[in-house]
Amino acid sequence: MSDRIDSDAGREEAGRNLPPLRLHVPEPKFRPGDSADFSDFDIPPAGAQARPDETAQPAGMRDLAYGLVRVLDEEGAAVGPWDPKLPPEMLLKMLRNMALTRAFDARMFRAQRQGKTSFYMKSTGEEAVSIGAAAALASDDMCFPSYRQQGILIARGWPIVDMMNQIYSNKGDRLKGRQLPIMYSARDAGFFSISGNLTTQYPQAVGWAMASAARGDTRIAATWCGEGSTAEGDFHSACTFASVYRAPVIMNVVNNQWAISSFSGFAGAEATTFAARAIGYGIAGLRVDGNDALAVYAATRWAADRARANAGPTLIEHFTYRVEGHSTSDDPGAYRSADEASHWPLGDPIARLRKHCIALGIWDEERHAAMDRELAEMVRDAAREAEKNGILGHGLHHPMESMFEDVFEEMPWHLREQQQKMLDEWKAAGL
């Protein structure tokens, strides 16, 4: 007993000479009023990353989780082994879809400010993430998006009037006002219902991919989340199942540096890359220049070919930047430097692809300006068409009894009773 007391006393005495423990709290480099300076960012030159075979073992490609797959160089040329060598018509189609996504965002942002809808989220600066991926996937591959991948629907040719009807929750809304604006659902476009609960789509995508493989199908799944929501348990559960069963799925992490007002350091960006999370699960991990549409296309196509070859899942980190606020409810000037976006070292994704097309001689500034005008007019006309179906505050657009419908194939008795009780109360109240 005395020996133990002596030992405890010795440890207590030694502890007095140790420095106190301290907790590290991440802090962004730039706050409001600071001048942004990204000169210390380690941006490897375009074309520097090796491109392994699609069926290579994850252990042999660790460097790809820490580097940065890039195709477009500073002069707008496509260089290196990841160059997908796309034909001119594909390049121009991707450029147009990115520009259309930005024009759509601008119109819907204005509509929210005019009180026509309650909420909107722009993808400004991140258009390459969705457009590049959509171009590389097969049209019937299933997408499980987050709330900033509207470009996937646009790239798949989904009518923008239908998207606007959903945003306005009007009588033309196929979802009957049951979803928050911008949380689209389009089964015919292979676009799973968006959820406001972060990263729930990850295990859903993995489960869908496992089912596709169990059926002997050829379709794969792809899913997206922000870097902040990689801290959610659903992200890690999905990674475990994807790894164990080698599910044919592509898991995209859009690292746009900010999760509302929390910078990426709170999700672990100070310690390592988000692509490196793949290593611990035995999954192939790629870190990609998210503002380079050709790099996004090449990485997604590589991951899709890998999945179809039954070589397992891929985790892709898209290193990009959220140019504007998290949503129309957010003021980024309250928590980050006002000039961050203009100093972001990877540039604007549309400008970079435009420069590439001009360098190839298949495009010019005049045609680009004309395209922007055409798309702005097209989106304006679509908005006017959607607004004929109603906007926010123009009354109830769907009958109240519809809130009980479309849940079960056949409505169970207890819901029928609740529905009738509601209708009786409304009638008694003269509503």
Write the burial class of residue 431 (CB in 10 Å: 0-12 exposed, 13-18 middle, 19+ buried).
exposed
Residue 195's pLDDT is what?
92
> Token digits for 12?
């207590």
Other Cβ atoms closer than 10 A to 390: 19
263 Rama sector, left if φ>0, alpha if ψ -120 to 50, beta otherwise: beta
260: which 2 tokens? Answer: 């509302």
Residue 400's pLDDT is 83
Q: How many CB atoms lie within 10 A of CB 302?
A: 24
Cα atoms found within 13 Å of the Cα of residue 419, Cβ hemisphere only? 13
Q: What DSSP designation does 61 have?
A: G
Distance CA 357, CA 352 (A): 9
Name 150's bridge partners. Answer: none
* DSSP 8-class letter at 403: G
Whether 65 contacts 287, CB under 8 Å: yes
196-213 burial, b at 16+ Cβ within 10 Å, e below that, comes to eebbbbbbbbbbbbbebb
Residue 418 φ then ψ, to 5°? -65, -40
Residues of the chain with pLDDT under 50: none
Q: How far is CA 349 from CA 293, 321, 336, 345, 354, in A?
A: 7, 10, 22, 11, 9
Residue ranges of domains in the chain: 58-387, 400-431
pLDDT in tens, 6-25: 666 666 666 678 999 999 99
What 8-state DSSP symbol labels residue 285?
Answer: E
Residue 315 has φ and ψ, to the nearest 5°, of -105, 120
Cα dihedral sign for 122, 290, 222, 90? positive
How much is the pLDDT for 430? 83
Check residue 172 and give its pLDDT. 95
User: At the fourth CATH level, which superfamily is domain 58-387?
Assistant: Thiamin diphosphate (ThDP)-binding fold, Pyr/PP domains (3.40.50.970)
- Digit-coded pLDDT (tens) for 320-351: 999 999 999 999 999 999 999 999 999 999 99
pTM of the model: 0.94
Cβ contacts of 282 within 8 Å, gap of 6 or more: 58, 59, 243
CA gap 94, 84 in Å, rounded = 13
Q: Is 176 left (phi over 0), alpha (psi -120 to 50) or beta?
A: left
Query: What pLDDT does residue 401 have?
Result: 85
Residue 102: its pLDDT value, please?
98
- Tokens coding 24: 């590290």
Residue showing tokens 């991919």: 209
Distance, in Å, from the CA atom of 120 to the CA atom of 168, rounded to the nearest integer, reads 10
Sign of the four-CA dihedral 170, 172, 175, 181: negative
